[in-house]
Structure 1
Amino acid sequence: MGIDKITGQTHPAAQTEAKRVSLPPKPGTQRAGQDFARVLADKLAAAGESVRFSAHASKRLQERSIVLEDSDLKRLGAAMRQAAQKGARSSLLLYNDLALIANIGSKTIITAMKGDDLKEHVFTNIDSAVIIR
């Protein structure tokens, strides 16, 4: 309905045809040949391998002069993912001459030991062990 501003009378509005407009996709929002599920799976896999360290573990690594490279972190992340698939919650990760206790759910290393610290040591409050070669 329209209103005549001078007389104040109403009259039917002119019928207009609605046009559908499709906007071109924004750059970077489409990936050729990849669907959403695949992109999501790739992102989750990449994020799933990130390993965090608690303040205690960071302190232990520093005190014991333990240096972990990117390749080491990827292997630890893969081991933690494998433990998670088996239902583990808290694991002992044995890697080279290191023993790491990890919270699998949060992908966090809780503490780290090396070499002589491993002799006659009892690990408690773990539900699994992963040997990484």
Structure 2
Amino acid sequence: MAKNFEPENKLPNMIGPGTKIKGDIETNGDIKIDGAVEGNVVSKGRVLIGQNGVVNGEVKCTNCDIYGTFDGKILVSELLSLKSSSKLTGDVKTGKLSIEPGAIFTGTCDMTGNTPASVSTKPDAKK
């Protein structure tokens, strides 16, 4: 049987300041966003939205640290950390949530433990 080739990614993917992306991003590794993304981000690792980073869309990942701005829906299977400079607007579903003083969070949060054990890069099935 053939094995799916998933290279180990020791370095995180990076979207630098001044970069704007419209569309979906999928990665097996970590990703750091210091630019702007309008679309969906799916990562089997950590998503880090830097202090100047802006994401509008849906994020699915294992862990997430937000220093910048997020607007949309976020699904984190393990830990979501909102840092003091973060601004999150939208719906959150996570296993654990950490909010530093100064962070702005407007929306809903579900921590009922119904998050998947691991994040899949396959799109959700429509019902």
- TM class by shorter-chain length? under 0.3
Larger radius of gyration: 1
- Which structure dedicates a bigger proportion of its chain to helix? 1
TM-score if structure 2 supplies the norm length? 0.23
TM-score relative to the length of structure 1: 0.22
More strand by share: 2
